[in-house]
Amino acid sequence: MTLISNAIHLEPQLRDSFIVCCADTRLTFRDITNPKEKYIKGRKLFKIEYLNGSVSFWGATALFENSKQKSLSEWLPVFIKKSSHHTTLRAFAEELRYELNKKMHKPFLGKEASGFHLCRIRPDGVPEFMHFSNCGLDQQTGNYGNITDSFRGIGEDFLGRDISHFKWDGSVDNYPPIRGIQLYRNGSIKVHSLAWDKLDEVFATLFRFPDFKYPYSYKDEDVIKFTKQKLNFISSIYNNWAKTKIVGAPWDIIILRFKQ
């Protein structure tokens, strides 16, 4: 499994909004000739420079191309480079899903909940997030079900659904002066969903004391440092108490911001 997340931070000025994209680096790898699981290090989060976006994956980690098994960590950067003709995240996502449904090993994919996150900051400053997967998620238990051997349709989760929570329709001219965070996560999310907001509460209380320095600013280096601190806490729980250590550091983090 894995743990990936994307958090859209909406700020009172739209062009100050940003997205924090995170992924662990512990891969569950299976060779088609020897399907026994082994754990290796590898990237799951990649920047899409020409879209000012990112793509990350969770679950299955390999596909087949030219009759050879390849890890997604190896294949995905090549796909990103050759897909630079796309000008929208939706078009990029559609082609990615199409290629994956041709090349993923269906016997493996049909047994493992898997999916992709895609996000960007558009040229007008509006954030986007969409995803596709081969399964459904029980929000109460954090368990996946209805697993199929192909990836289903693309969900435009933020602009198509969750934006209404902020009393906003996605129009730049109608942007309300608000601050809020919309978080998306997949993979082994139980610890993340239990601990993430509570850690914010702990830090918010702790840094009221004068003998601690408030760690957070809007600079990328401060956002990354604070985010890694929280992620390392989650990683330590898996390292010390999980029966199977399916989430592991180091963490990859990308900050997406408006580009002039």
Please, what's the b/e burial string for 147-179 (b: 16 or more CB within 10 A of its CB; e: otherwise)? Answer: beeebeebebbbbeeebeebebebeeeebeeee
Res. 34 pLDDT band, cuts 50 70 90: low
Collect all residues with Cβ–Cβ distance below 8 Å to 145 and sequence separation of at least 6: 135, 136, 138
What pLDDT, in 10s, does the model give residues 108-158? 899 899 999 999 999 999 999 999 999 998 877 778 999 999 999 999 999
Please, what's the b/e burial string for 55-78 (b: 16 or more CB within 10 A of its CB; e: otherwise)? Answer: bbbbbbbbbeeeeeebebbebbee
CA-closest candidate to residue 185, choices 174, 173, 196, 171: 196
CA-closest candidate to residue 252, choices 27, 11, 8: 27
CA distances (Å), 118 to each of 71, 90, 132, 171, in order?
Answer: 19, 9, 9, 21
Check residue 138 and give its pLDDT. 80
Domain ranges of the chain: 3-190+245-257
Check residue 164 and give its pLDDT. 94
Mean pLDDT value of segment 51-68: 91
Mean pLDDT value of segment 214-243: 84
Check residue 163 and give its pLDDT. 96
Residue 89, pLDDT > 90, answer: yes
Mean pLDDT value of segment 219-243: 87
Average pLDDT, the chain: 90
Check residue 14 and give its pLDDT. 96
What pLDDT, in 10s, does the model give residues 149-178? 999 999 999 999 999 999 999 999 999 989
Q: Write out the two tokens for 191.
A: 């610890």
